[in-house]
Amino acid sequence: MEWPGTSHPLKPHASSLPPEVGAACSLFDPLWETLSAREQARILHLLIERIDYDGVNGTVSITFHPTGIKTLADELAQQEATA
């Protein structure tokens, strides 16, 4: 996955994420490319609570909504149930 507007891949520190999150992200990559910009923005809004940039250290910290993944999963389950 690339950070929008750059050619740099988004690579979190391996120690900063549980292994299942990394695995889920790698499975999501092919789907992400098929989504419209509006759909991508909506998903990011559901998942991300805050982004902080530390210019001195050149680091970015992302805080996720505590229920963001559950909300997204619930929406997907509801869509599958009505399909």
State pLDDT tens for residues 19-51: 666 676 777 778 888 989 999 899 889 888 999
pLDDT, residue 3, reads: 45
Residue 38's contacts (CB-CB under 8 Å, 6 or more residues apart) are none
pLDDT, residue 36, reads: 93
Instruction: Assess contact for 51 and 62: CB atoms under 8 A.
Output: yes
Q: Which residues pair with 54 in a beta bridge?
A: 59
For 3, 8, 69, 76, 79, the CA distances from 73, given in Å and listed in that order, are 23, 28, 6, 5, 10
Strands (E), the chain: 48-54, 59-64
User: What's the pTM value of the predicted model, to 2 decimals?
Assistant: 0.59
